[in-house]
Amino acid sequence: MAIVAVNMVPLGVGTSVSKYVAAAEKVIKDRPGIKRQLGPMFTTLEGDLDEIMQAIREMQEAVFETGVERVVTTIKIDDRRDVAATMDAKLESLTSKLESIE
């Protein structure tokens, strides 16, 4: 299972991009097999890497369908094979370490 952070930036549309982020998010909002966590700068996806990459391609197309002519997409992939890594497990691990130093 992969954990993927994705960020799409439409160019030439001014400073507010939430309308374009919403267009991308609609593509994956209820997608079976992909868990999604929306953040202030990236959306994090969890699931099969091939399915996620296909979803990212569809997200990018949804942004283009709003009328923009250029989109810069950043993708960061954590594809761990030695253990079953999940977004929740990563956060729980961090939280437990933070609690031990307080």
- The pTM score is 0.89
Task: Note the pLDDT of residue 102.
Answer: 67
> What CATH number corresponds to the domain at position 75?
3.30.70.930
Q: What is the pLDDT along the chain (102 residues), one digit of tens a residue?
A: 899 999 999 999 999 999 999 999 999 998 999 999 999 999 999 999 999 999 999 999 999 999 999 999 999 999 988 988 899 988 988 899 998 886
Burial of 6 (C-beta count, 10 Å sphere; 0-12/13-18/19+): buried
Total domain count, the chain: 1
Token representation of residue 85: 């890594």
Q: Which alpha helices (H) appear in the chain, and where do they start and end?
A: 18-28, 49-64, 87-101
